[in-house]
Chain A
Amino acid sequence: MDSVGFVLAGIPTTLLVTVGALAIGAVGMLPLAILRVSRVRLIRAIAIFTIDIVRGIPPIVWLFIIFFGLGTNVIHLSPLTASIVGLGVISAAYFAEILRGGINSVDRGQREAAAALGISPFHGFALIVLPQAIRSALPAAATFSIGLLKDSSIASTIGAPEVLYRAGVDAGASFEPLMSYGIAAGFYLVVSLIAAWATRRLDAHFRRAVS
Chain B
Amino acid sequence: MTVFDEWLDFLPSLLTGLGVSLRLTGLCMLLGLPGGLILAIGVSSPVRGIRYVGLCLVEFGRGLPALVLLQFVYFGLPQTHVILSPWVSAILALSWVTAAYTSEAFRGAINSVPRGQSEAASATGMGKWDSFRFVIGPQAARLVLPSLMGFTILIFQTTSLAFTVTVSELTNEAYTIGSQTFRYLSVLVLAGVIYAVIAAPAAHFVRRYEKKVSKPFA
Q: Which residues of A contact B (CB under 8 A)?
A: 48-49, 52-53, 55-58, 60-62, 64-65, 68-74, 150-151, 153-154, 156-157, 164, 167-168, 171, 176-178, 180-182, 184-185, 188-189, 192-193, 196
Q: Which residues of B contact A164 (CB under 8 A)?
A: 65, 67-68, 71
B200, A52: Cβ atoms under 8 Å?
A: yes
Quick one: which of A57, A68, A150 contacts B195, CB cutoff 8 A? Answer: A57
Bound Cα distance from A167 to B68, whole angstroms: 10
Query: Is there contact, CB below 8 Å, between B185 and A55?
Result: no
CA–CA, A182 to B68, complex, Å? 9
Of the candidates A154, A176, A184, A188, the one whose C-beta lies within 8 Å of that of B63 is A188
Residues of chain B whose beta carbon lies under 8 Å from any beta carbon of chain A: 59-60, 62-69, 71-72, 75-80, 157-158, 160-161, 163-164, 171, 174-175, 178, 182, 184-186, 188-189, 191-192, 195-200, 203-204
Q: How far is the CB of A17 from chain B (nearest CB, A)?
A: 12
Apart from A168-B71, A178-B79, list 16 A-B contacts with CB within 8 A. Answer: A53-B196, A56-B197, A62-B192, A68-B188, A72-B182, A72-B184, A73-B185, A74-B185, A154-B65, A157-B164, A171-B76, A181-B71, A181-B76, A185-B69, A192-B62, A193-B59
**Contact A64:B175 (CB < 8 A) given known A182-B76, A185-B64:** yes
Whether the Cβ atoms of B76 and A61 lie closer than 8 Å is no
Chain A interface main SS type: helix
